[in-house]
Amino acid sequence: MFEQIEGSRAVAKAVALCRPEVVCAYPISPQTHIVEALAEMVSSGVLSPCEFINVESEFAALSVAIGASATGARSYTATASQGLLYMAEAVFNAAGLGLPIVMTVANRALGAPINIWNDHSDAMALRDAGWIQLFAEDNQEAVDLHIQAFRLGEELSLPVMVCMDGFILTHAVERVDLPTQAQVDAYLPPYSPRQVLDPAEPVSIGAMVGPEAFMEVKYLAHAKQMEALRLIPQYAEEFRAIFGRPSGGLAHAYRTEEASTIVVAMGSVMGTIKDVIDEMREAGHAIGALGITLFRPFPTAAIVAALRGARRVVVLEKSLAVGLGGILATNVRMALAALPIDVYTVIAGLGGRAITKRSLHALFRRAEKNDLDSLTFLDLDERLVARQLAREKERRKSGPVAENLLRDVGVIAARNY
Amino acid sequence: MFQVRIHGRGGQGVVTAAEMLALAAFDEGRYAQAFPSFGSERTGAPVVAFCRIDDKPIRVREPIVTPDALIIQDATLLHQVDCFGGLKPEGHILINTGKSLAELGLEEYLAAHPRERVLTLNATEIALRRLGRPLPNVPLLAGFAAMTGLIRLEAVEKAIAERFAGKVAAGNLAAAREAYSRILSSLERAHV
Amino acid sequence: MHEQPIKFYQTGTFTVGNRLLPPEQRTVQSRIKRYNSLNSGHRACQGCGEALGARYCVDAAMEAANGRLIAANATGCLEVFSTPYPETSWQLPWIHSLFGNTAAVATGIAAALKVKRAKGERRHIRVIAQGGDGGTTDIGFACLSGMFERNDDVLYICYDNGGYMNTGVQRSSATPPAARTATTPSLEGALGNAFGQGKFLPEIALAHGIPFVATATVADLHDLEAKVRRAMEFHGARYLHVLVPCPLGWGFPSHETIKMARLAKESGIFPVFAAESGEVVASAPIRRKVPVEDYLRPQKRFAHLFSPTLNLAALARLQELADRNIRKYRLLPETL
């Protein structure tokens, strides 16, 4: 049923339709509305039986989920930013133990400086923790991916992170087609764990493993992720059959036919990019886009197939590998290594910097003329950077960078939107 | 696509206004996207919320930089924040105030703006009287409906019913209806 | 197996093996049909107090739960010596996740069981969590406090050997004052671990107002098992703090583990008590009071207090700590 609904609430409703048995949460913006809505549903009995546990930290949130999942309960939590880092040890642990926890990451920047706005630094920091990582383009996809995540994770005994852009999606109120319980039940079978803590059949989970078998355990985790590459398109197809709309999958190509330039991105910025692509196509530009839904495992073959015909690829990403450049771009470059395609890295939208159509138009036109550096920071205030660099050159005790820059920027309320 | 930017202060229901506008548009069968300015603003701080309305799915995620309409919930922001930034020529402006444009110091600035496109409404006063609380967002929304014709009063009323209950819903309904008719008469005066 | 009653004249908790007691008063450990939850064959050191404590506690909890028990275990000696194949020793469903999250993992298990119970599945299963003092009082403290304040249905057992023995005897917040560890050395006449630091977690547990908090040592099996049994009578968060001497970390001969635990209790340096709903309800009285020096002297970690010169000031301060415990927990008849 179509509803005009906040992204967080829509996701909470979708999660509830998946009948989680244990939900644990620690508040952090911009994830909070999701678990607040779930708390309401547990409290009112709409979601029952389900244990909602208010924990003392994100580390505990995921640890509770680990215990619950190992006991055979379908377990869910949500976090963002510093919260994801605070639970990092448990993030790796859940994957290593093979527990199919589903976790929403309401993507947000990492401090310092502290910043509550959106970028992908949090999920990227944990990209190699062994979780499947899905990125939602809009709130409809966020809803759909959560339902697919439980199915996928439980089939493979792997945890799944569903990433949705903080504020941009979590706090956006838009039209979402919310599935019925019958649809979700038809799609998502009850959780049948491969390992469970049960006195009837005692097992030890989490034993120490030495050099004699550790590599093999890790290899199997990798092999499972490779298996996900095969299962995800299949599950997306089954999803379409039951829910009547395409959703999920590895990556989505948009007007890439005959495109000499293809823009690659993840998450909500794809919407803005598509609008720009339409306008540029209208003006005769041979440009298209590829939205990557699945970041881990990295769908190399699908990406090569989608980008093969392009002359250049512009990877626009909301994350920065400091000292290297792009993260998504590095992965795309690796996928395209054997092909004669120029790859440009564009770092954009860090800490909530708006990615505007105007900037994208200019950027893509420069790319078409091969007038881009291999690494570009979109809408970087170079004057601001230069001032700070000058200050640091001028005196040793130049002070805290963030404070200096804010002073240089001046009153921000006047341009707060 | 019609784009609305709402300026106000934390606690005035700015985000709720954008969401209700989106809800009203949705109820009329249109696509709408409402979102806040994503800040961690506390009560009293300048806040902005946005709403896009269209007849086809809305994909763009940038903040609204060239609005078709502005709702200014707090007139004290007018000289603090660049409220009019990017407003399209002849865009709608609705200001919550009991003062005249001259008293607000805007007469000269908006001299060239069509009279029926810049209106004031003492929404706080209406809300205080009808709702008992200084929450100007709902009467402004109804005023906006009257001013732009973009959504019908019925859709605003439906959004109120979906969002509020009991006395709050009743008070907001009364405030909305009064605001709607007041703006209609302002428009008549502007066209005379 | 057939049991033949034999008449003996000596009874009591000091009696080795409990064979001298009537069958109904014997410990779980003395029974042929004990659970052997932590089975033989693990790779703990000779004389390991923690292995003993874990075996006692988990078997007693298994007995109380009719064998329907799940355990979460912190990283540490206990986890390391009990899991690698072929030394895998746990005979109950057991999970090790991380060093600092054991209480939270146990919370998750309890929550899952609650939901399963509501669905009519897997009923009457109890949960324990266990870890060493490092995993409990230091790195696992936040999760433990969270589990306490939510009153989650878990019995948490801390095996306190006063340091990070798994990583080679470093100081923890449960290391006693003046003890030498790898990170509180006693070189050049230094004292070792400082006075005025550390924490006694049972009192912090008590402050949470949880249903049951108790301390015990591996020297008194009857008391230890009685406390586990009592703990299992409650639902909600429960805490048991067991002193488990470590021959390696403390520096005493491996056959003196029980003796060390007994001296700790009899000197008053380790108070043995039980509390319910935030109030101390019982103390295990000192039977034959010994000066704290008797407890310290056999341990190499305190050797610097005795040689080359006798550190009378430090010994006096340690005696005062023991005396304070005796007063506070009323460990001697005259303090009652």
Residue A304, domain CATH? 3.40.50.920
Q: Are residues A373 and A395 in the same domain?
A: no
Mean pLDDT of A304-315: 98
Mean pLDDT of A11-20: 98
Q: Is pLDDT above 80 for A412?
A: no
Q: Are residues A230 and A275 in the same domain?
A: no
Q: Is pLDDT above 80 for B40?
A: no
Q: Are residues A49 and A149 in the same domain?
A: yes
Mean pLDDT of A61-77: 98
- Cα A215–Cα A216–Cα A217 angle in degrees, nearest 5: 95
pLDDT at position A416 is 47
Domains and CATH numbers, chain C: 34-335 (3.40.50.970)
Long-range contacts of B104-113 (CB under 8 A, 24+ apart): B104/B75, B104/B78, B105/B78, B105/B79, B106/B78, B109/B84
Domain end (from A215, A243, A271):
A243
CB contact under 8 A, C108 and A63: yes
* CA neighbor of A146 nearest in space, from A117, A86, A174, A187: A187
Cα A115 to Cα C52: distance, rounded to the nearest angstrom: 50
- Out of A60, A93, A199, closest to residue C93 by CB: A199
Helix residue ranges, H only, chain B: 14-27, 123-130, 137-148, 153-163, 166-191
Q: Are residues A225 and A347 in the same domain?
A: no
pLDDT at position C20 is 67
Contact partners of C by the rule of 3+ C-beta pairs under 8 A? Answer: A
pLDDT at position A295 is 98
Residues of A in contact with C113 (CB under 8 A): 71
Q: Are residues A66 and A209 in the same domain?
A: yes
- Out of A116, A175, A417, closest to residue B5 by CB: A417
Lowest-pLDDT range of A170-174, B45-49, C17-21, C197-201: C17-21
Q: Amino acid identity of C2?
A: H
What's the count of helices (H) and strands (E) in chain B, helices before strands? 5, 6
Residues of B in contact with A116 (CB under 8 A): 38, 40
**Residue whose token pair is 């949880």:** C210
Contact partners of A by the rule of 3+ C-beta pairs under 8 A? Answer: B, C
Q: Do chains A and B touch (3 or more CB pairs under 8 A)?
A: yes
CB contact under 8 A, C112 and A89: no
* CA neighbor of A329 nearest in space, from A269, A318, A340, A339: A318
Residues of A in contact with B60 (CB under 8 A): 271-272, 275, 357
**Minimum Cα–Cα distance from A63: chain C residue:** C105
pLDDT at position C256 is 96
pLDDT at position C5 is 64
Question: What Å distances lie between residue A110 and A7, A117, A118, A120, A124, CA to CA?
Answer: 22, 9, 9, 9, 11
Say if residue C86 is preceded by a cis peptide, omega within 30 of 0: yes
- Out of A63, A69, A208, closest to residue C101 by CB: A63
pLDDT in tens, B135-165: 999 999 999 999 999 999 999 999 999 999 9
What are the DSSP calls for C202-214, one per residue?
HHHHHHTT-SEEE
Q: Are residues A64 and A127 in the same domain?
A: yes
Q: Are residues A102 and A130 in the same domain?
A: yes
pLDDT at position C85 is 76
Mean pLDDT of A185-209: 96
pLDDT at position B107 is 92
Cα A282 to Cα A395: distance, rounded to the nearest angstrom: 52
Domain end (from A195, A220, A243):
A243
* CA neighbor of A158 nearest in space, from A216, A203, A73, A222: A222
Cα A223 to Cα A219: distance, rounded to the nearest angstrom: 6
Mean pLDDT of A198-223: 95
Cα C172 to Cα A136: distance, rounded to the nearest angstrom: 45
Cα A113 to Cα A111: distance, rounded to the nearest angstrom: 4
What are the 10-residue block averages of pLDDT along chain C, 336 residues in total? 59 54 83 91 95 97 97 97 87 97 98 97 95 98 98 98 97 98 92 96 97 97 96 98 98 97 98 97 95 98 96 98 97 75
In eight-state DSSP terms, residue C184 is B
pLDDT in tens, A218-248: 999 999 999 999 999 999 999 999 999 999 9
Tokens, residue C150: 């939510």
pLDDT at position A413 is 47
**Minimum Cα–Cα distance from A196: chain C residue:** C93
Mean pLDDT score of chain B, rounded to an integer? 94
Report which of residues C21 and A135 the model is more confident about.
A135
Per cent of chain B over pLDDT 90 is: 90
Tokens, residue A17: 């339709």
Say if residue C231 is preceded by a cis peptide, omega within 30 of 0: no
Q: For the domain that residue A200 is a member of, what is the CATH number?
A: 3.40.50.970
Q: Are residues A63 and A128 in the same domain?
A: yes
As to burial, measured by CB atoms within 10 angstroms (0-12 exposed, 13-18 middle, 19+ buried), residue B37 is buried
Best interface-test mutation with C: which of A92, A204, A216 has the largest number of C CBs within 10 A? A204
All residues at 6 or more sequence positions from A98 whose CB lies less than 8 Å from its CB, including other chains: A157, A158, A194, A195, A221, A224
Q: Are residues A158 and A34 in the same domain?
A: yes
Strands A312-317 vs C273-276: parallel, antiparallel or unpaired: unpaired
Domain span at residue A388 reads: 382-415
Tokens, residue C218: 């591996």
Tokens, residue A262: 């293809």
Strands B31-36 vs C126-132: parallel, antiparallel or unpaired: unpaired
Residues of A in contact with B36 (CB under 8 A): 167, 171
- Out of B32, B48, B61, closest to residue A268 by CB: B61
Question: What Å distances lie between residue A36 and A33, C152, C186, CA to CA?
Answer: 5, 21, 53
User: CB–CB of A17/A179 below 8 Å?
Assistant: yes
Report how many domains make up chain A.
Answer: 3
Helix axes C102-118, C141-149, angle to 10 degrees: 30
pLDDT at position C86 is 80
Cα B12 to Cα C294: distance, rounded to the nearest angstrom: 72
Say if residue A246 is preceded by a cis peptide, omega within 30 of 0: no
Q: Amino acid identity of A104?
A: T
Per cent of chain A over pLDDT 90 is: 98
Q: Is pLDDT above 80 for A25?
A: yes
pLDDT in tens, A320-333: 999 999 999 999 99
Q: Are residues A83 and A167 in the same domain?
A: yes
Cα A77 to Cα A28: distance, rounded to the nearest angstrom: 12
CB contact under 8 A, A60 and C118: no
Cα C276 to Cα A132: distance, rounded to the nearest angstrom: 46
Tokens, residue B85: 């930034």
User: CB–CB of B7/B83 below 8 Å?
Assistant: yes
CATH topology assigned to domain B2-191:
Pyruvate-ferredoxin Oxidoreductase; domain 3 (3.40.920)
Determine if the pTM surpasses 0.90.
yes
Q: Are residues A261 and A238 in the same domain?
A: no
CB contact under 8 A, B62 and A118: no
As to burial, measured by CB atoms within 10 angstroms (0-12 exposed, 13-18 middle, 19+ buried), residue A322 is exposed
Domain end (from A243, A263, A278):
A243
- Out of A60, A198, A207, closest to residue C122 by CB: A198
All residues at 6 or more sequence positions from B111 whose CB lies less than 8 Å from its CB, including other chains: none
Q: Are residues A158 and A101 in the same domain?
A: yes
pLDDT at position B38 is 65
pLDDT in tens, B88-142: 999 999 999 999 999 999 999 999 999 999 999 999 999 999 999 999 999 999 9
CB contact under 8 A, B19 and A356: no
Long-range contacts of C83-87 (CB under 8 A, 24+ apart): C83/A204, C83/A206, C83/A207, C83/A208, C84/A207, C84/A208, C84/A209, C84/A210, C84/C43, C85/A207, C86/C41, C87/C41, C87/C42, C87/C43
